[in-house]
Amino acid sequence: MTEDFEFERSEGNVSIIPLGGLGEFGLNMMVYETENDIIVIDTGFMLPNADMPGVDLILPDIHYLVERQEKIRGILLTHGHEDHIGALFYVLRQLDVPVYGTQLTLAIASGRLREYNVLSKAQLNTIAPGDTVELGDFSAEFLHVTHSIPDTVAIALRTPVGVIVHTGDFKFDMTPVDGKLSDIQTLARLGTEGVLLLVSDSTNAERPGQTPSERSIYGTVDTIFQKAEQKLFLCTFSSSLHRIQQFIDLAGIHRRLVAVTGRSLLNNIRTATELGYLNVNPDYLIDARDASMFKPHELVILSTGSQGEPRSALSLMALDNHPFLKMEQGDTVVISARIIPGNEKAIGNVVNHLLRRGAKIYHERNADVHVSGHGSSEDLKLMLNLLQPKFFMPMHGEYQNLMRHAELAESVGIASDNIKVAEDGELILLTPETCEVFGREGRSGRVFVDGKPEFELEDIVLRDRIQLSEDGIVVPIVVLHSDTGEGEQESAANSQEESRQQLEGESTENDAQISIHLTQSQGKVKKQIEIISRGFVYMDKSEELIEEAKEITRSVIESLSDEQKEEIEAVQDEIRAALRRFFSKQMQRTPLIFPVVMRV
């Protein structure tokens, strides 16, 4: 990779900038740019890991696009999963650009846009597989591919330098639930005509063989239906509509009524049914609030919560906190979804609670109840062979997935020098003869959302939260006054006590609290100091450390000149620096130190 670069965009090149999805799962967003125009493919979000306290959503940083919005000709969506459309509301709040997607994809996206009051300003344009849209220097042709959700497309971009194929998520399912095969004929035609660059899904690059058909789980789930003697809970992603169709079909065959719980699942089933993507007999649907009116063996409950989300329907039932559904001894639970890396503990906790309630649990590790919507190594090699690209760049996945996909490309005959592995924020410059990865172009990264999306969380705040969770906090409170009269002494003490109570709240035996009263000769400065700690040390076992902290605080205050004492920030800095050095040396820990200095 070249770190320093200079170039001018011209008719002789196209630049590609991944704003998300290369080096991680989720956050998928790719920018294609010529001298005159920009198009964006997908605008996904990512859910936070357990080590991101207080973060609700992770969105791509789109400063690069905001600075060039007059060049953007459109946003193209490959399908309706949240890791590809979940950030659309955030993007459209800042960019007034048209959006193109299939009917189902736009219908699902509209729900979130409506939720965030963006739908009224959105320019949504429905396309169908086989359509071509002209967007300035780009011509986008949409090709149907099979995935775990209907209406998924790959996109062939005709550009001034050649054809780029962006696969989106895909696998080659030869017996899809809806009967719609991947458009292999068009893929082969594009390969014959000549593809300059293939940008392809790497999610399952490390899995050998071919990903089984979505229908492959049908027999296993059918057997579970036959064995279930009481309520049967089926839990999957709310957008896995092909799987939901199979569950509904089996419920009809086994003459069980279907109750649905979970807002996103309800919305997606309603939308897909209205558009004809789900075939649901309304006679078999009941309101989940009425489930208690029926016998257990008559019921199937479709539920959200396959990743152990704390407020999901399945998690609430596992803890017996659901308002109207109850998990009971002898019930059966099927978790039909991939365990996303990082969610193992949350899912394990839910499973443990379900087992305590006497439920029998099936999941991907003990039964064939899940199949991936992403192609494995043989699917990926088939895509490479169909398109025969001159250059290849893997996308979607962690770095190890990208590297494995690069190895697969080399194994089918792509020259190693023509395989480019890039990461988020890097610039890939494509010409008819070259494809090179350069250093980072402009600003890219992640936006952390705390609560409402308008409340973006700065990196430094997240770092502080992580440090608080690891090392705790120390708050020295210092009151400075220059009169030794009793009235002002009482005022200082009262001010200090009030500050201490505000910072401290309810005291606990784990708190380290020290009061230091330093009185110099009559007429000189009197100083009162208190240190409050949270999550740092256990007071009863840290007396020596606390005594040393007293002495250091005493020394800092006594060493300050009268001029320094007049500058509150200077006093805070001196205290902070001294205590940070002390705690780091003594304990190899660096708590956050927030001195509070008041003058009375």
Indicate the pairing of strand 360-362 with strand 332-335: parallel
- Which of 374, 396, 405, 481 is labelled catalytic? 374
Contact between 429 and 436 (Cβ < 8 Å): yes
Question: pLDDT, tens digit, for every residue of 499-539?
Answer: 455 445 544 444 444 334 443 433 333 445 677 776 776 65
- 193 φ/ψ angles, rounded to the nearest 5 degrees: -70, -30
Measured CA to CA, the distance from residue 289 to residue 547 in angstroms comes to 61
Local confidence band at 441 (pLDDT 50, 70, 90 cut-offs): low
Tell me the residue length of the chain: 600
Q: Does 374 qualify as catalytic in the annotation? A: yes
Q: Which of 241, 132, 233, 231 is nearest to 177 (CA)?
A: 241
Paired residues of 195 in beta bridges:
none
pLDDT of residue 278: 95
Helices marked H in 195-284? 218-227, 241-253, 263-274
Residue 220 structure tokens: 């296993």
Question: pLDDT, tens digit, for every residue of 381-413?
Answer: 999 999 999 999 999 999 999 999 999 999 999
Measured CA to CA, the distance from residue 554 to residue 518 in angstroms comes to 8
Q: How far is the CA of 422 from the CAs of 23, 215, 414, 562, 592, in angstroms?
A: 8, 35, 17, 57, 36
pLDDT of residue 344: 85
Dmax over Cα atoms in the chain, in whole Å? 96
Residue 376: pLDDT over 80: yes
Contact between 476 and 553 (Cβ < 8 Å): yes
Measured CA to CA, the distance from residue 555 to residue 152 in angstroms comes to 68
Q: Where are the beta strands (DSSP E) in 554-594?
A: 592-593
Local confidence band at 50 (pLDDT 50, 70, 90 cut-offs): low
Measured CA to CA, the distance from residue 306 to residue 159 in angstroms comes to 41
Mean residue pLDDT of the chain comes to 85
- Which of 173, 201, 331, 450 is labelled catalytic? 201
Residue 487: pLDDT over 60: no
Residue 34: pLDDT over 50: yes
Residue 303 structure tokens: 């539920």
Residue 464: pLDDT over 90: no
Q: How far is the CA of 278 from the CAs of 44, 150, 216, in angstroms?
A: 24, 10, 19
Residue 591: pLDDT over 70: yes
Around 226, how many Cα atoms within 13 Å sit in the side-chain half-sphere?
A: 6
Q: Does 481 qualify as catalytic in the annotation? A: no
Q: How far is the CA of 234 from the CAs of 10, 272, 300, in angstroms?
A: 54, 18, 7
Contact between 14 and 164 (Cβ < 8 Å): yes
Question: pLDDT, tens digit, for every residue of 449-460?
Answer: 765 554 554 555
Contact between 144 and 182 (Cβ < 8 Å): yes
Measured CA to CA, the distance from residue 229 to residue 18 in angstroms comes to 50
Q: Model's pTM, two decimal places?
A: 0.77
Q: Which of 253, 252, 246 is nearest to 221 (CA)?
A: 246
Identify the residue with better confidence: 532 or 552: 552
The domains of the chain, with CATH numbers, are 14-209+373-459 (3.60.15.10), 214-362 (3.40.50.10710), 472-599 (3.10.20.580)
Q: What is the mean pLDDT of the segment spanning 313-320?
A: 92
